[in-house]
Amino acid sequence: LPGLPRSKEKPPPGEFELIARLCAGLKPGRRTILGPGDDCAVLAPVKRPLLVTIDSMVEGVHFRRPWFRPEALGRKALTVNLSDIAACGGWPLASVVNLAIPATLEPRFIERLYAGLRRAAVAAELDVVGGNITRASALAITVALIGEARRSILRRDTARPGDQIFVTGTVGDAAAGLKILEGRRRARGAARRFLIERFLNPTSRLRAGQRLAAMRPAPAAIDLSDGLWQDLGHLLDASHAGAEIDADAIPLSAAYRAAIGDDPELALGGGEDYELLFCARGRWSPAELSQRLGVAVHRIGRVMRASDGIRLTGGTRRGRAPRTAGWDQLRSRDSK
C-alpha cells in the first residue's frame, strides 16, 4: 500500500541477544501467567477495574542524555507512569516497555537503563511482562502500565465548590533542577544536589494516592506533571469549577528558596514534580492528611464555582501571574 513501509525494519545484529539479556533479569510474579518471550504476555484475570496509562520520554524533548545515568533514565521512565496510577489511587500490576534506540547507542547503556527500570518495577511490586526494541534517530523510552483500582478511583472531574485544595510534598523543585542542569540558574552544594535529584529521580506518590482512594468521598486528584497551575487547570476544566489559590501557601522547599527565592512563579509554572494535587471535601486539616497519607500535605486554596474563575491571591507580588502557557490559558478563560 502506498505510504506504508514495504517490510518491517530488520532488527540490527545482536538485537535478539540484547532482548534476551534484558528479559533474563525480569522475574514476573504470580499474577503473570506468561512473561516476556511469547507474542503476548498473559496476565491472570482480576476482578477489579483496570487502570491503563502510557507515557514516553524522548531524548531532546524530555531530557538530554548527558544529564542522566542510564539507570536513572530507566527509573524515571517508569516513575512518570506510576505517577498516573498514583493519581487515580491505584495499584500497579504490569507494564510493557518500548525502547527506540539510535544505532550509535552502546548496548551497555540499554542494559543499565533496563536495570534501573527493573529495580524501580520491583520496588513498586510491578511486573515488566514484555517489550519491544526499535531503531530510531533519538532515544525514546515508552512505558505502558496496567494498574488495578482496589478502592475508589480518583478522578479529575469530581471537584465541587467548597472543596479544599491540597498538594503533597513541595513543588517547583524539578523545574529548578532542570534550570540548573540547563545552566540557566546557579545553585551550590546541598540545594543544587537536591533540586537536580528531584528532576532526575522523582518519586511517585503511589501510597498517598492509594490512601486518598480510601477517603469518603473520594477526592478529585491529578498528578503534577505539567506544572501546578496547568494541572490544576486540567482538573478544574474536568470538574467545571473555578478556584482560589493562595500564592503564600504554595509549599516551597528550602533548596528552592535558596536557589530561586521566595517567588512561587516557577513552582506554579514548572512541571515534573510528580506530586499529587487533590480536592477534599470536609474539614480535613493538612496535619491530619499528612499523617494519613504518609507525606507532607499543604492546603493551597479552595474550589470555587466556574463563574468565579481561577484567582491567585496573597504573596508579596499580589496579582502577579506566572508567565507560563498554563497561566495564559487560565487568564484568558478568567477574563471571558
Question: Cβ distance 267 to 212 under 8 Å?
Answer: no
At closest approach, how far in Å is the CB of 224 from Mg ion?
8
Q: How far apart are the first and last CA of the chain?
A: 48
Question: Cβ distance 80 to 114 under 8 Å?
Answer: no
Number of residues that bind Mg ion (CB under 5 A): 3
Grid coordinates given for 213: 482512594
Contact window for Mg ion (CB under 5 A) among 83-91, 179-187, 208-216, 267-275: 83-91
At closest approach, how far in Å is the CB of 38 from Mg ion?
31
173 touches Mg ion by CB under 5 A? no
What are the C-alpha distances in Å from 141 to residues 78, 79, 177, 203? 9, 12, 21, 18
At closest approach, how far in Å is the CB of 218 from Mg ion?
17
275 touches Mg ion by CB under 5 A? no
If the CB atoms of residues 225 and 324 are measured against Mg ion, the closer one turns out to be 225
Q: What share of the chain is helix, strand, coil (3-state, %, to 5)?
A: 35, 25, 40
Separation between Cα atoms, residue 138 and residue 206, nearest integer Å = 30
At closest approach, how far in Å is the CB of 90 from Mg ion?
12
Site string for Mg ion, 188-227 (x = CB under 5 A): -----------------------------------x-x--
Q: Which of 55, 59, 84, 127 binds Mg ion (CB under 5 A)?
A: 84
265 touches Mg ion by CB under 5 A? no
263 touches Mg ion by CB under 5 A? no
What are the C-alpha distances in Å from 145 to residues 54, 93, 136, 206, 243? 6, 8, 22, 14, 32
The site for Mg ion (CB under 5 A) is made up of 84, 223, 225
